[in-house]
Amino acid sequence: NAGVTQTPKFQVLKTGQSMTLQCAQDMNHEYMSWYRQDPGMGLRLIHYSVGAGITDQGEVPNGYNVSRSTTEDFPLRLLSAAPSQTSVYFCASSRLAGIGTSSYEQYFGPGTRLTVT
């Protein structure tokens, strides 16, 4: 299993450009999420999906779009890049922590380091 894969690993954009961050998982997890990680801010949830065709907003959704057409793929689109979107982006897929629990454990990809100038 490759787990969770993300491409590209590094990206530099100019203000106003758009791009798509790719995320794929081969663990057949229903839940997938996108986070951004900034110094001193921890990981913040951007968007998440509970299954193909279903997405919802997280804590910081503005400026980002997502779609989930298959269980495996969950791309994140930046509509018009801004310097405030300079960050490290992580995709994660989730599974239940165990029988009898409602907690989900996250499996993260290696991240995409995005710089917007």
Partner 1 sequence: TQLLEQSPQFLSIQEGENLTVYCNSSSVFSSLQWYRQEPGEGPVLLVTVVTGGEVKKLKRLTFQFGDARKDSSLHITAAQPGDTGLYLCAGARYGGATNKLIFGTGTLLAVQP
Cβ atoms of 53 and 68 within 8 Å: the answer is yes
Query: Minimum CB separation from partner 1 for residue 15, in Å?
Result: 26
Q: Which of 17, 58, 63, 71 binds partner 1 (CB under 8 A)?
A: 58
Q: Which of 1, 2, 40, 99 binds partner 1 (CB under 8 A)?
A: 40
Burial class (CB in 10 A: 0-12, 13-18, 19+), 47: buried
How many contiguous H segments (helices) and E segments (strands) does the chain have?
A: 0, 11
Distance CA 48, CA 57 (A): 6
Q: Does 103 bind partner 1 (CB under 8 A)?
A: yes
Total residues interacting with partner 1, rule: CB under 8 A: 29
Nearer to partner 1, 14 or 99 (CB): 99
Nearer to partner 1, 14 or 101 (CB): 101
Burial class (CB in 10 A: 0-12, 13-18, 19+), 99: exposed
Which residues lie near partner 1 (CB under 8 A)?
A: 4, 31, 33, 35, 40-45, 48, 50, 58, 90, 92, 94, 97-98, 101-111
